[in-house]
Chains A and B, each alone.
Chain A
Amino acid sequence: MNIDQAADLIRTVLHQVAPDADLDGLAPDADLRETLELDSLDFLQVIELLSERAGVRIDEEDYQFLATLGGAATWLAGVAPAPAHG
């Protein structure tokens, strides 16, 4: 998975968890939880969906890498396997 694919996946997941949030105006370095007003349960759902769709294990120690869209895309691209072709 490259960074663009990772960023797309993150946006899809964020849209699902916070359908009303304005993702177009979201800066890559903005704090996701603060900007999108995600509470701890919302964030847990984001982690759950990302983990499931990207096929990676995300531990609590990794949450720190998922604070911003830019940071999360970089981190996810580094750990997620390439999506299957076809």
Chain B
Amino acid sequence: MRAAIAALMARSKREIPHYYLTETVDLGDAMAWMRDRNRQLPVPKRLVPAALLLKAAAVALRAVPELNGFWIDDRFVAGEDVHLGVAIALRGGGLVAPAIHRAADLELPELMASLRDLVARTRAGRLRRTELSDGTVTVSNMGDQGAESIIGVIYPPQVALVGFGRIVDRPWAVHGLIGVRPVVTVTLSADHRATDGATGARYLQTLAHLLERPEEL
């Protein structure tokens, strides 16, 4: 496992000219919306913030398809759909990134169920081979035990990786006043051969707008 990660990451850093863009997004409305929704639901149906973040990442990729796909033979090959690779840490160490297929089309409860299923099967060592290899992009979500931001390494031959840091409460300006809001730092790592910063910035703006209107996700 270590050797496989080492080979892949070394190839990424050797071949891919990464560029990085960062945006901090106010999740106040998204978290309030999720809490309200969860209040009416039994435990197995409740959402976790990761489901919202993944859904927004997938839908934003549909709007900016230049980041969804592969760099093969000196050109960009678009992904046939948004198959969202999700970086999942294994308990014994190591990391895999199995894909949630057609993630942008899934309703939030479906995406949440897919995520739970994927994590459970990953930890139990019961992934299908295709799931491990057919992501068109990767998302790395630090979760609430992780660091505040992550500047990730692209999974070749993909051309982008979206990293979500831990959600933290921070002083934040809202309508000219300072309040305390839950915020998340989103970092896009992208392949400069395939896109330029303007495309990456458009992606982060789209993602931020989606997270500000969670009821539309």
Contact = CB atoms under 8 A, between A and B. Distances in A.
A58 B39 CA distance: 10
A60 B39 contact: yes
Which of B38, B46, B49, B115 counts the most chain A CB atoms within 10 A? B46
A33 B50 CA distance: 16
Contacts, number: 36
A48 B38 CA distance: 13
Interface in B98-149: 115-116, 119, 143-145
Interface in A12-69: 18, 20, 33-34, 37-41, 44, 47-48, 51, 58-60
Given A39-B145, A60-B35, A44 B46 contact: yes
B48 interface: yes
Contact of B145 (A20, A37, A44, A51): A37
Contact of B116 (A41, A58, A60): A41
A58 B46 CA distance: 12
A51 B43 contact: yes
A60 B46 contact: yes
Given A40-B50, A41-B116, A60-B35, A33 B145 contact: yes
B50 A41 contact: yes
B145 A48 contact: no
B176 interface: no
B75 interface: no
Interface of A: 18, 20, 33-34, 37-41, 44, 47-48, 51, 58-60
Given A33-B145, A60-B46, 13 more contacts: A18-B91, A20-B91, A34-B145, A37-B91, A37-B145, A39-B145, A40-B143, A40-B144, A41-B116, A44-B43, A47-B43, A58-B43, A60-B38
